[in-house]
Chain A
Amino acid sequence: MRYLILSRPSVAYARAISAHLYRLTRPDHARSAEDVSAYWCGWLVHPSTGAVALVMPDEDIPVHTESDADLLVQAVAHAIPPAEAEKLRVDILATRGTRAAPLLFVPQSAQTQLRTHSQMEADGWFATPAEG
């Protein structure tokens, strides 16, 4: 499991990115009305700085044959160079119908924001809960 610190300290933004990752595996048109799953991964808020990080599972993502690459690309385009946005779009299209490692969808310039659990712990992301 890895953690990706997001460019925007916003839970709404984390929720949107996680939902777009899930749409890669299950586009809206492929879902049934009774489906419950809507997010690929969870997110954390730093208890003192308010920074927000995605909790990226290690398991590969089954990319749907009809997934829409543009939704995720548009959501992160503000934070990455245009060339990386285009590469992300190409990578998504290339993995349609296969299983892909989630880190494949983390653009190059954002990979400096990836953290391990121990790094997150050292940076104070996990507040020690009081008794109970």
Chain B
Amino acid sequence: MSVSLLRLGIAASGARSTAAPLLLDLVAGAAIAHSLRKVRSAYAGSAIRVRRSSDNAEADIGFVGIDLDTASLLAFAGSGSAFVVTWYDQSTNAQHATQTTAASQPRIVNAGALEVGGASLGALRFLAASNHHLSSPYLFGTAATVLASVHNLTRSAAATVIAERSATNGFPSPFQLDFAPTDRPRLFLRSDDGATASAVSAVSYFGAWLLLTGVREVGTTSRVRRNASQLSSVNATLGATTAGATQIGAHIRSTTNGLDGWMREVIVYPSALSSADLATAEANMNAYGGMY
């Protein structure tokens, strides 16, 4: 691939066209949008910033067309590994997710090979035993829609995809999207007074990529979905919560409830999407990831 092609953003062999519909162009208004593909046509920044293991140097990695520039990533990593220090927010809000502690940074290249989680697209590998996670400045409101492309490996503990803790009691609140023990997709909500509401799947899912969606809707039915099908719902009318901090890939209160698996996209809208928008967003993410 020539440098001139890269600079022009023309897709290399196997890469998608820049004309493909991008998620945030179809369903605008995301609060945060982390992805290894380009999800908003006007976004001009990088996808990720990475640290390489050979000397701990860091570099921004962008896109070729709409896909992650894996050639530059692998060239930078060399025969070593690379870890994500920043997962840039492609929404208009610039709420980038970061990890300043080297040992807690999710891996994207392992000994010269791109992390893919059994698929063909690049992915962030979160190792629960290493407390891999990224911290986001985003704080949830009382309504939200979260869509995540995730592949979790089976484990006995809960596996967090994204969670915000309350500054009052430290528990994940008001929004936690995770896999409850064992491997059951769940939307877990808690208020400062200790009241909880949980929409949790009765069935376990692990060992494959899936599209996990959590919708919190004020005063009505909140729900968790897998591959665009609803798994469980709950009427989540809870008391107030105090804004705390949000983490991707790990439970804030406990270092033992992190995700053990891969993630390639997590998109948050600050409202419950309409049925039409939710269907559009889920279809777009599936068209990219081929999860179902």
Contacts and interface: CB of A to CB of B under 8 A. Distances in A.
A59 B53 CA distance: 9
A49 interface: no
A131 B57 CA distance: 40
B17 interface: no
Could you say which of A35, A40, A64, A126 has the most chain B C-beta atoms within 10 Å of its C-beta?
A35
Nearest to B163: A132
Nearest to B157: A129
B149 interface: no
A32 B58 contact: yes
A55 B103 contact: yes
A42 B258 CA distance: 15
Given A25-B55, A62-B55, A132-B172, A40 B101 contact: yes
Contacts of B99: 36-37
A41 interface: yes
Interface in A19-39: 22, 25-26, 32, 34-39
Contacts of A37: 51, 56, 58, 85, 99-102, 105
With most chain A CB atoms within 10 A of its CB, the pick from B57, B86, B188 is B57
A44 B100 CA distance: 16
Contact of B101 (A25, A39, A64, A131): A39
A41 B254 contact: no
B92 interface: no
A57 B257 contact: no
Interface in B42-69: 49, 51, 53-58, 60
Chain B interface residue number, banded:
35 or more
A131 B253 CA distance: 11
B197 to A, nearest CB: 10
Interface residues of A, number: 27
Contacts of A38: 100-101
B147 to A, nearest CB: 21
A130 B171 contact: yes
B53 A41 contact: no
Contacts of A1: 129-130
B100 A126 contact: no
Contact of A55 (B57, B105, B131, B171): B131
B104 interface: yes
A35 B98 CA distance: 11
A36 B55 contact: no
A55 B58 CA distance: 23
A63 to B, nearest CB: 10
Nearest to B178: A132
Given A59-B53, A62-B54, A132-B190, A39 B255 contact: no
B100 A129 contact: no
A80 B192 CA distance: 44
A12 interface: no
B110 to A, nearest CB: 12
Contact of A132 (B54, B57, B196): B196
Contact of A126 (B54, B85, B130, B254): B254
Interface of A: 1, 18, 22, 25-26, 32, 34-42, 44, 55, 57, 59, 62, 64, 126-127, 129-132
Given A37-B99, A42-B255, 20 more contacts: A1-B129, A1-B130, A22-B56, A26-B57, A36-B49, A36-B86, A37-B100, A39-B100, A39-B102, A41-B103, A42-B131, A44-B255, A55-B131, A59-B53, A62-B54, A62-B55, A62-B56, A64-B55, A126-B255, A132-B158
17 contacts: A26-B55, A34-B58, A35-B58, A35-B85, A36-B49, A37-B51, A37-B99, A38-B100, A39-B102, A40-B102, A41-B103, A62-B55, A62-B56, A127-B254, A131-B196, A132-B188, A132-B196
